[in-house]
Structure 1
Amino acid sequence: MAVAAPRRISPVFLGIAAVTAVAGWAVWSRPGAGPGLGVAVFLFVTGAWVVSLCLHEYAHARTALHGGDASVAARGYLTLDPLKYTHAVLSVLLPVLFLVMGGIGLPGGAVFVERHRIRGRLRLSLVSAAGPLANALFALGCAAPFWLGALDGVPVGFRFALAFVALLQVTAAVLNALPVPGLDGYGVVEPWLPERVRRGVEPFAPYGLLAVFVLLLAPEVNQVFFGLVDGVLGALGVAGAESSCGRDLYRFWQEADPVCAFLVDVTR
């Protein structure tokens, strides 16, 4: 039986995934540090990040479908096409901008779910929780080669880039799980709040994402947060120095860290 058109994987998503794969191959095969490696890392990490954004939103939509909202299929959310999102700027452009500016993985919003169709408060909470859980699974997938010891002999540039992708997924999972209006963490608790509280908080929801980003610019908050993220990554076998070098390679337009550049050159 043919698959219904609204649920076929979008050529747009397949194209993004293909670019990511080609960029990953370029990172793997690029000899030594330099602008060429940096551009390849930039394309690989950005592509992987957009892929994870699509999976994040797909998780919301798929959970909503099983919760009772069939409209997500008609809107094309199950195709993994980022162009189908209600707010393409919030869902793709802003998260990529946050990534480029600060090396922070923070998903935006979102697919439009007809929440009145979802059966029960628990299912409503699960719809919101599905996105951060998708990022957590993505993080585990990226970190698995590290704690399994499967990266022996792998080019260091690729190892650093993969560590940075893992860092982005951990930051996305943790930040988006915060109970801040506009983020998924608040969506998890919202169904259980009194109606008057929900109405009072609703006007602040559009600003929650930006408020979190601004707070992370404060050195004290940034240090505590990334200390937590490094702790999680360390538990997954990813050293903080590796993700830091991955971020350094990603931001190729800045002066390279000589230690990271040396490690890439000496182990090529």
Structure 2
Amino acid sequence: MGLLNLLTDSPLAFVIIAAALALSLTVHEFAHAWTADRLGDPTPRRFGRVTLNPVKHLDPFGTLLLLIAGFGFARPVPINPNNLGRWGTLWATAAGPLSNLLIALLCVVLLAVLPSSGVLGVILLTVLSVNIVLAIFNLIPIPLLDGSRILGALVPSLGRSLAQFEAQPFSFLIVMLFIFLAREPIGQIIGTVQRWVLGFVGF
């Protein structure tokens, strides 16, 4: 279910979730860009991606998909593995999901010390939930997602095969079709892990 349904059912919930997604996706992509830049790859800076400006990171089509279909994507940060090496590539890739986990941890801390009721509590809990989902989803080892690239950095032979697949003209469409067709089991897996994590931290 897309977010557009919330516009009529609960406009405030729509605004909170949309803002949480914009913030979280922006930080996720910035983390990729900043880490790659710090590790010696000038590619993200050349494309203007070492910034927290959402306009630089949010993809119009990916955002539209998110609103309509309930899943979407941000604009991937271009990095050059030749400038980073195997381990630099791994850290630049892992930085995205790690940033979401750090935001989630910050929300847990804030919910522990601030009143958890009212709008502030809803905002923090929403940001917490969104970042858990983003971290889990991006760690799935599906081509084009961070999980597959982390796995590819750990297993170079697999990484080369994944890079060859991703270089194909229709790889993006194939992956998007796969995610769309498998959205229910993927959603169930993410939902189960999300509920476990929220229960573990007391929410």
TM-score by length of 1: 0.61
Give the deviation of 1:109 after TM superposition: 4.0
Kindly indicate whether the alpha-carbon contact (under 8 Å) linking 1:41 and 1:161 is maintained by their aligned counterparts in 2.
no
Structure 1 or 2, whichever has the larger Rg, is 1
C-alpha spacing 1:138/1:99, structure 2 compared with 1 (3 Å): farther
The number of equivalent residue pairs is: 192
Does residue 54 of the first structure (1) align with residue 21 of the second (2)?
A: no
Q: Out of 123, 130, 134, which is 2:95 matched to?
A: 130
Instruction: State the identity as a percent.
Output: 28
Aligned residue number for residue 167 of structure 1? 129
Whole-angstrom CA distance in 2 between matches of 1:215 and 1:145? 35
Give the deviation of 1:54 after TM superposition: 1.1
**1:56-102 CA distances to partner (integer Å, 9 max, x unpaired)?**
111001111122112322321112223334x823xxx4256336643
Give the deviation of 1:229 after TM superposition: 1.1
Give the deviation of 1:42 after TM superposition: 1.6
Whole-angstrom CA distance in 1 between matches of 2:18 and 2:66? 11
Whole-angstrom CA distance in 1 between matches of 2:129 and 2:62? 18
Secondary structure of the residue aligned to 2:79 is coil
Aligned residue number for residue 3 of structure 2? none
Aligned residue number for residue 6 of structure 1? none
Taking CA–CA contacts closer than 8 Å with sequence separation of 6 or more, which of the two structures ends up with the larger relative contact order? Answer: 1
Whole-angstrom CA distance in 2 between matches of 1:169 and 1:221? 16
Does residue 97 of the first structure (1) align with residue 97 of the second (2)?
A: no
Q: Out of 194, 197, 200, which is 1:232 matched to?
A: 197
Unaligned 5+ segments in structure 1 are 1-34, 239-268
Does residue 88 of the first structure (1) align with residue 55 of the second (2)?
A: no
Whole-angstrom CA distance in 2 between matches of 1:72 and 1:223? 34
Secondary structure of the residue aligned to 2:76 is coil
C-alpha spacing 1:205/1:187, structure 2 compared with 1 (3 Å): farther
Whole-angstrom CA distance in 2 between matches of 1:201 and 1:36? 41
C-alpha spacing 1:198/1:223, structure 2 compared with 1 (3 Å): closer
After TM superposition, which residue ranges in structure 1, 4 or more long, deviate above 6 angstroms?
none
TM-score by length of 2: 0.79
Does residue 208 of the first structure (1) align with residue 179 of the second (2)?
A: no
Kindly indicate whether the alpha-carbon contact (under 8 Å) linking 2:59 and 2:73 is maintained by their aligned counterparts in 1.
no
Q: Out of 171, 177, 189, which is 2:139 matched to?
A: 177
Secondary structure of the residue aligned to 2:127 is helix
Kindly indicate whether the alpha-carbon contact (under 8 Å) linking 1:46 and 1:96 is maintained by their aligned counterparts in 2.
no
Q: Out of 110, 114, 126, which is 2:76 matched to?
A: 110
Give the deviation of 1:107 after TM superposition: 4.3
C-alpha spacing 1:159/1:37, structure 2 compared with 1 (3 Å): farther
Does residue 190 of the first structure (1) align with residue 152 of the second (2)?
A: yes
Does residue 68 of the first structure (1) align with residue 40 of the second (2)?
A: yes
Aligned residue number for residue 257 of structure 1? none
C-alpha spacing 1:237/1:222, structure 2 compared with 1 (3 Å): same
RMSD across aligned positions (CA): 2.9
C-alpha spacing 1:231/1:145, structure 2 compared with 1 (3 Å): same
Whole-angstrom CA distance in 2 between matches of 1:140 and 1:174? 14
Give the deviation of 1:134 after TM superposition: 0.8
